[in-house]
Amino acid sequence: MSSAHPHKIGQAIGEGRWTRLALITIALIFLGLMLIAPLFVVFVEAFSRGVGVYIDALAMPDTMSALRLTLLVAAIAVPVNLVFGVAAAWAIAKFEFKGKAFLLTLIDLPFAVSPVVSGLIFVLLFGANSVLGPLLDSAGIKVLFAVPGIVLATVFITFPFIARELIPLMQQQGSSEEEAAVSLGAGGWRTFFQVTLPNVKWGLLYGVLLCNARAMGEFGAVTVVSGNIRGVTTTLPLHIEILYNDNKAAAAFAVASLLALLALVTLAVKTVLEARFANSHAAQRRH
């Protein structure tokens, strides 16, 4: 990352060694207490009643259904949001037009909106007291308290992730390469796939990872629209809540450890990606 900054220069004008040590220690302690400790607790509690209980919790039919549902929801939400993210990033990063700030605000909205409000929005839209609800119901399509409702709410919550990763990245890269490609006669799609995409592939991948992690872990919005039908409309996070409230804390943590593992894998992949990206990014800088 800062390979252009030899350590020596930093030392000449930097903080004293003790200051540095103190700052590092404080940072480590803070992160350790605030971030690592909860992660640790998940795994400790998961095995607190022994490996047998752990395996039972995972093998439970309700856990399996929850896993399937969660995967299904993510499998729909992520690709759909991927297409959107790319389209939005292309429009925003490569062109100048009025109203960009407003568009960006709209895209960022789910970040600032409470997940509960997101869920409420869909209840108002598809509930029995709305216009759409009874209409769809008479056509035999159940949205609320069924899987489609969960998918919709998840799509709403997670669509900014990929866009937000790509937009600053593409903005930073500018449009010179694409313009060069076009001037050399490449069509729109070809330019996109052969010029733009390779440049953003690490950012894109990371955005997809984050989007996926959030899609699988969404709780607040899904709570409101799910109906909690065990084994049918309970996603993994909902299932965890049910287990926890049913006095089965060890089982709850066992299932939670699955999601925690997913989070760890996400982070590990990101670290690897970043190492690769840093190299290609540094290479790009020397244009």
Partner 1 sequence: MRGILVALVALLTLATSGGCSANEVTLLNVSYDPTAELYEDFNTAFSAGYMTADGKTVTVNMSHGGSGKQARAVIDGLGAHVVTLALQYDIDVIAKETGKIPADWRSKLPGNSSPYSSTIVFMVRKGNPKAIQDWPDLAKPGVSVVTPNPKTSGGARWNYLAAWGYASRAFAGDETKVRDFVGAIYKNAAKLDSGARGSTTTFTQQGIGDVLVTWENEAYSSLAELEPGDYEIVYPSLSIKAEPPVAVVSGNAEKDGMQQVAEDYLKHLYSPEGQKIVAKHYYRPYDPTAADPKDIERFKQIEMLSVDDPVFGGWAQAQAKHFDASGLFDLIYQPGK
Partner 2 sequence: MTTAAPDGARKLRWRRRSVLPGFGLSLGYTIAYLSLVVLIPLAGLGIRSASLGWNEFWAIALDPRVVSALQLSFGAAMIAAIVNTIFGVLVAWVLVRYRFPGRRWLDAAVDLPFALPTAVAGIALATLYAPNGPFGVFLMSWFGVKVGFTSIGVTLALIFVGLPFVVRTVQPVLEEIDRETEEASATLGAGRLRTATRVILPAMFPAILTGFALSFARGVGEYGSVIFIASNLPYKSEIAPLLIVIKLEEHNYAGATAIATIMLVIAFAMLFVINILQAWSRKWFGHE
User: Given the complex with partner 2, which of 60 and 236 has the nearer CB atom?
Assistant: 236
Q: Which amino acid is at 168?
A: P
Is residue 133 near partner 2 by the rule CB under 8 A? no
Out of 3, 8, 16, 185, which residue is the one contacting partner 2 (CB under 8 A)? 16
User: Given the complex with partner 1, which of 173 and 234 has the nearer CB atom?
Assistant: 234
Out of 50, 51, 75, 105, which residue is the one contacting partner 2 (CB under 8 A)? 105
- CA dist., res. 237 & res. 255, Å (int): 9
User: Given the complex with partner 2, which of 69 and 224 has the nearer CB atom?
Assistant: 224
What residues numbered 225-244 form the site for partner 2, per CB under 8 A?
A: 236-238, 240-241, 244
Token pair listed for 12: 């000449």
Which of partner 1, partner 2, none is residue 30 near (CB under 5 to 8 Å by kind)? partner 2
User: Given the complex with partner 2, which of 27 and 75 has the nearer CB atom?
Assistant: 27
Which of partner 1, partner 2, none is residue 195 near (CB under 5 to 8 Å by kind)? none
DSSP assignment of 132-152: HHHHHHHTT---TTSHHHHHH
Q: 222: buried, middle or exposed (CB in 10 Å: 19+, 13-18, 0-12)?
A: buried
Is residue 210 near partner 2 by the rule CB under 8 A? yes
- CA dist., res. 64 & res. 186, Å (int): 48
Q: How far is CA 26 from CA 23, 40, 59, in A?
A: 5, 20, 42
Tell me which stretch binds partner 2 (CB under 8 A): 56-64, 135-143, 197-205, 263-271.
Answer: 263-271
Q: 140: buried, middle or exposed (CB in 10 Å: 19+, 13-18, 0-12)?
A: exposed
